[in-house]
């Protein structure tokens, strides 16, 4: 299984770039500044669409899915919901 940190590094390489009204390119990148919001995780059951609470720990989100499966043995399919803060970074002048 791929870690979210390596996915974040790959995401930065293929991030969006746009022109701003200031005549400068801007690039949308993951916000890794010290004051950035944390990355959060949640799991959602794809059968009934019930969602566990958001947590900063991936293991906490997955434990909700395990408990949901125990309570609903026919619910095998889940979605991992990751909230990653992003920001536009100034780039080259146009």
Report the pLDDT value the prediction gives residue 34, as an integer from 0 to 100.
96
What are 7-64's pLDDT values in tens digits?
Answer: 555 554 555 667 666 788 999 999 999 999 999 999 999 999 999 999 999 999 999 9
C-beta neighbour count of 3 within 10 angstroms: 9
Rounded distance, CA 79 to CA 81, Å? 6
Rounded distance, CA 78 to CA 8, Å? 21
Domain ranges of the chain: 4-93
């Amino acid at each position: 299984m791929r870690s979210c940190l390596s996915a974040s590094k790959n995401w930065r390489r293929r991030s969006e770039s746009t022109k701003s009204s200031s005549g400068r390119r801007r690039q949308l990148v993951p916000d890794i500044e010290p004051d950035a919001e944390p990355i959060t995780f949640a799991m959602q059951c794809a059968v009934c669409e019930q969602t566990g609470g958001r947590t900063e720990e991936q293991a906490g989100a997955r434990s909700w899915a395990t408990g949901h499966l125990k309570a609903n043995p026919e619910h095998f399919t889940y979605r991992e919901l990751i909230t990653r803060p992003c920001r536009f970074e100034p780039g080259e002048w146009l």
